[in-house]
Amino acid sequence: MTAITSDASTPAPPAARGLVTSASYSITVRLAADGDPASVGRIATAVGSAGGAVTAIDVVESRPDGLIVDVTCSAADAAHSEEVVAALDAVDNVHVRKVSDRTFLLHLGGKLEVASKVPLKTRDDLSMAYTPGVARVCLALAEHPEDVRRLTIKGNTVAVVTDGSAVLGLGDIGPGASMPVMEGKAALFKRFADIDAWPIALDTQDVDEIVRTVELIAPGFGGINLEDIAAPRCFEIEARLREKLDIPVFHDDQHGTAICVLAALRNALRVVDKSLEDVQVVVAGGGAAGTAIVSLLLEAGATKVLVWDREGILSPDDERLSPAKLDLARRTNPGCRRGELPDALVGADVFIGVSAANVIPAEALAGMNERAVVFPMANPTPDVDPVRARQYADVVASGRSDLPNQINNVLAFPGVFRGLLDARAKEVRPGMLLAAAEALAAVVGDDQLNANYIIPSVFDPAVTQAVAAAVEHSARAEPGATAPTTTDAD
Ligand SMILES: NC(=O)c1ccc[n+]([C@@H]2O[C@H](COP(=O)([O-])OP(=O)(O)OC[C@H]3O[C@@H](n4cnc5c(N)ncnc54)[C@H](O)[C@@H]3O)[C@@H](O)[C@H]2O)c1
Ligand SMILES: O=C(O)C[C@H](O)C(=O)O
């Protein structure tokens, strides 16, 4: 648990600073209060006046002369948590005993465990689940390797593999520090698709070593989810693994994002009554997410896409470009248009931001066409302020959970892998990604669609089901994309 750090300056009240409380800055403060019945009310008032939100007050101990109380409340950030604690400490006859950060408490010991699916209560159980009975199953698999998916965890297990080089918006923080994200991803796989995923954080950023390591561990997995590996290394790693392995390899930061963006864009264009084939799209950020988004949009029928990155609008005649960006430029900008992001946005219908925080002011959107669609998705701070973007666009979506239209990969990857595993897919093909995006878009019915609801909630059970069914169907329809069916070894 981290200590909550102090800030010597006196900040303006949280509401005046535009702060919004969030469960991710949730604290539990243990307080000793006197026996005055009004104390609990004073405690709640103190939290509220400091801008915090009380979510629970639990009496831990009651004595004739006082109470020990746990107050749980949400704050807006770490500094604000400290203001809330200070406000509680200032209440007459109330003393702060301990402050716990609930997000850190939730991570104690990690977020995952392995559970046995078979009973191990008797010697008979042991004889079947382990030696000697297990040996017969091993020999059967040696004879019929195609049955490994059916008789082991392989058929329902995904490796979540990272090198810790591009973790969330945090950058290259290394394999150990990446583990909470990888564990979280595995927890989401289980929660939304009942897939047993395992975090694998590699202590190398060498492409050859990563490829070889994943190749070596692949026999025990039904799929590989590459996660938070920096571009352009991620492109080569994925391509080489796809070449070598007979299980699907899917870099979620690329393809999961692309599926969600295409789904959201399909619905946004329904709202503004424009078609993908006709709109001018501008993508900021030609990295992992941007490259995959562009590929899927082109696959889906988009004809006018420009990509902007550090070098300006990516153009095939720009000698500074890396091979990956050059390829992107060739596929999007044959006319060699040059300029900066505001130039690209003049006359554009759609802006998709997957670059970095605040790369343009909202005013730069003014040059876009009527009924513009703007998706600034850089996390945690979007490429352009999504609230101010509403002045210039009819539909706005971002990665933020505190605004409408949150685009998050969890809408896609659980269903994608559920479908791939159920189809016994050996590989991922573009048709499967397209099918996933169209199915995700279709979850929002005509009677639900509006500018603030272009993408469904991840808690809608129809989401994973629809994506999984579409991917499974698409995989089965693709010649050679699935493994042969099993024999009846039992
Ligand atoms: N669902 C989502 O909300 C979602 C999904 C994926 C990525 N993202 C966000 O999108 C962003 C990019 O992710 P990625 O995985 O593609 O990262 P990446 O590092 O592979 O790519 C980022 C690209 O943006 C460019 N870039 C960065 N800062 C720039 C600047 N100031 N000006 C111009 N170009 C700049 C980089 O050169 C790079 O090509 C991140 O903020 C990430 O959190 C959001
Ligand atoms: O995995 C996610 O949902 C987060 C996203 O990919 C991001 O990089 O911000």
Average pLDDT in the 252-276 region? 98
Residue 186's pLDDT band, with cuts at 50, 70 and 90, is very high
Closest ligand to C-alpha of residue 169 is 1
Q: Which amino acid is at 232?
A: P
254 close to 233: Cβ distance less than 8 angstroms: no
Give the start-to-end residue ranges of the domains of the chain: 22-107, 123-247, 255-410, 415-477
Own/partner long-range contacts of 57-65 (Cβ < 8 Å, ≥24 apart): 60/30, 63/35, 64/35, 65/34, 65/35
Cβ contacts of 209 within 8 Å, gap of 6 or more: 202
Q: Of 345, 322, 262, which is closest to residue 298 (Cα–Cα)?
A: 262
Of 165, 259, 408, best ligand 2 pocket probe by most atoms within 8 Å of the beta carbon = 408
% the chain with pLDDT above 90: 88
Told to judge if 190 belongs to the known catalytic residues of this protein, a careful annotator would answer: no
Of 310, 360, 381, 416, best ligand 1 pocket probe by most atoms within 8 Å of the beta carbon = 310
Q: C-alpha dihedral over 362, 368, 373, 379, to 10 degrees?
A: -40
Closest ligand to C-alpha of residue 341 is 1
Contact 253 CB / ligand 2 (< 6 Å): yes
Distance of CA 187 to the CA centre of its chain: 12
Q: Of 439, 213, 321, which is closest to residue 307 (Cα–Cα)?
A: 321
CATH architecture of 255-410: 3-Layer(aba) Sandwich (3.40)
Tokens read off for 449: 């669609």
The H or E element spanning position 218 is none
Contact 244 CB / ligand 1 (< 6 Å): no
Q: Whose CA is nearest to atom 4 of ligand 2?
A: 168
27 close to 84: Cβ distance less than 8 angstroms: yes
Residue 473's pLDDT band, with cuts at 50, 70 and 90, is very high
Q: Whose CA is nearest to atom 3 of ligand 2?
A: 409
283 close to 406: Cβ distance less than 8 angstroms: no
Burial zone of 323 (CB within 10 Å; 0-12 exposed, 13-18 middle, 19+ buried): exposed
Domain 123-247: homologous superfamily in CATH: Malic enzyme, N-terminal domain (3.40.50.10380)
Strand partners, 308: 284, 313
The answer on pLDDT for 153 being more than 90 is yes
CA 287–ligand 2 middle distance (angstroms): 13
Contact 398 CB / ligand 2 (< 6 Å): no
Q: What is the pLDDT of residue 16?
A: 59
One fold for 123-247 and 255-410: yes
Contact 169 CB / ligand 1 (< 6 Å): yes
Q: What is the pLDDT of residue 20?
A: 78
Closest ligand to C-alpha of residue 401 is 1
Q: Whose CA is nearest to atom 28 of ligand 1?
A: 356
CA 253–ligand 2 middle distance (angstroms): 6
Q: Whose CA is nearest to atom 2 of ligand 2?
A: 409
179 close to 199: Cβ distance less than 8 angstroms: yes
The answer on pLDDT for 486 being more than 70 is no
The answer on pLDDT for 272 being more than 50 is yes
Lowest mean pLDDT among 336-345, 438-447, 477-486: 477-486
The DSSP code sequence of 25-91 is EEEEEEEEEES-TTHHHHHHHHHHHTT-EEEEEEEEEEETTEEEEEEEEEESSHHHHHHHHHHHHTS
Give the integer Cα–Cα distance in Å for 209 and 190: 29
Half-sphere exposure of 184 (CA within 13 A, CB side): 14
Place of tokens 């800055």: 25
Of 237, 309, 313, 351, best ligand 1 pocket probe by most atoms within 8 Å of the beta carbon = 309
Closest ligand to C-alpha of residue 184 is 2
Q: What is the pLDDT of residue 14?
A: 57
Contact 171 CB / ligand 2 (< 6 Å): no
Of 238, 355, 375, 379, best ligand 1 pocket probe by most atoms within 8 Å of the beta carbon = 355
Contact 408 CB / ligand 2 (< 6 Å): yes
* Domain covering 22-107 assigned CATH 3.30.70.260 in the classification: yes
Q: What is the pLDDT of residues 365-419, one digit of tens each?
A: 999 999 999 999 999 899 999 999 999 999 999 998 889 999 999 999 999 999 9
Average pLDDT in the 83-92 region? 94
Nearest atom, ligand 2, residue 377 CA: 9
Cβ contacts of 171 within 8 Å, gap of 6 or more: 165
CA 430–ligand 1 middle distance (angstroms): 22
Q: What is the pLDDT of residue 273?
A: 98
Contact 324 CB / ligand 1 (< 6 Å): no
The answer on pLDDT for 1 being more than 80 is no
Single out the catalytic residue among 185, 274, 325, 426.
185
Contact 289 CB / ligand 1 (< 6 Å): yes
Q: Whose CA is nearest to atom 8 of ligand 2?
A: 168
Residue 489's pLDDT band, with cuts at 50, 70 and 90, is very low
Contact 168 CB / ligand 2 (< 6 Å): yes
Pairing label, strands 66-75, 196-201: unpaired
Told to judge if 453 belongs to the known catalytic residues of this protein, a careful annotator would answer: no
The string over 274-304, giving b where at least 16 C-beta atoms fall within 10 Å of a residue's C-beta and e elsewhere, is bebeebbbbbbbbbbbbbbbbbbbeebebeb
Single out the catalytic residue among 98, 130, 190, 244.
130
Q: What is the pLDDT of residue 40?
A: 87
393 close to 374: Cβ distance less than 8 angstroms: yes
Query: Around Cβ 355, how many Cβ atoms within 10 Å?
Result: 26
Q: Whose CA is nearest to atom 7 of ligand 2?
A: 168
Give the integer Cα–Cα distance in Å for 331 and 325: 10
Read off the pTM: 0.92
Strand partners, 374: 351, 396
Closest ligand to C-alpha of residue 252 is 2
Give the integer Cα–Cα distance in Å for 466 and 259: 13
Contact 408 CB / ligand 1 (< 6 Å): yes
CA 74–ligand 1 middle distance (angstroms): 29
Give the integer Cα–Cα distance in Å for 378 and 49: 33
